[in-house]
Amino acid sequence: MFNQQTINEHIILSHPEHSAEISLNWFDNEYWQQQGKIVGAKKGRATAWFFCHNGLTAVLRHYWRGGLVGKVLSDQYLFFGLEKTRVYQEFSLMMKLCELGLNVPKPIAAKISQAGLIYRGDIITQVVAGAQSVLDILKQRPFSAQELVKVAHTIADFHNHGVYHADLNINNILFDETGEVYIIDFDRGELKLPASNWQQANMTRLARSFHKEQGRNHVMHWQESDWQQLHTAYQSTLKV
């Protein structure tokens, strides 16, 4: 499914199409800066670095802890085996989702750096071309009915395949340059079948993010009737 190699104490996972060229340098944003290949950065809890190399535009993201634990351990996680690391789980899940034909960014490579009982991690994924998040769009204009249905059907498609997203919010749902809908950031995500009530919990979390961002942003073209339309379209497509 994907390739794995160990360099010193670093375990590298890579997509078969890119395995031959992946090196430790790929996970160093300063290396890309020295090469003049950084094309952008996105700041959140941590900076994600966008770089372009041999026709590939990708984003490099380091794993950082959040909350109170993050203030103490920052980017350190306990190592209980490779397959239990958040890095391995996210990378392997994204490979599976690509194989299922779901709209996720192509995973390029990941690195798990182990030192005793501690590990740190990084992941590289291909950039969604021309991406705009749901939030980006709503700051500019309202959604069309067709766009609402596209978002709803995409989420339902993931749920029909048993894909649980740990943080489904309007920053993690993107439209590409052709109008296709993608979902990103599958840290702590997993495949959950048979279905239980987690799908509705995902949708409740998404609804909260609309309300949260509406409170944060002075201009946001969103109203409750839009949510009702989105949720109705979602329910009509949900099979599980």
Q: How far apart are CA 197 and CA 131, in angstroms?
A: 31
Of 28, 122, 157, 167, which is the active-site residue?
167
Strands 47-53, 38-43: pairing kind: antiparallel
Of 54, 67, 64, the residue nearest 26 (C-alpha): 54
Of 209, 107, 125, the residue nearest 168 (C-alpha): 209
Of 47, 25, 21, the residue nearest 37 (C-alpha): 25
Residue 122 known to be catalytic: no
Helix axes 224-237, 198-216, angle to 10 degrees: 160
Residues 6 or more apart from 222 whose CB is under 8 A from it? 138, 142, 210, 214
Q: How far apart are CA 117 and CA 78, in angstroms?
A: 6
Bridge-partner residues for 98, per DSSP? Answer: none
Q: What is the DSSP string of 6-52?
A: EETTEEEEE-TTTTTT--GGGG-HHHHHHTT-EEEEEESSSEEEEEE
Residue 141, judged by CB atoms within 10 A of its CB (0-12, 13-18, 19+), counts as: exposed
Q: How far apart are CA 177 and CA 196, in angstroms?
A: 34
Q: Which residues are catalytic?
A: 167
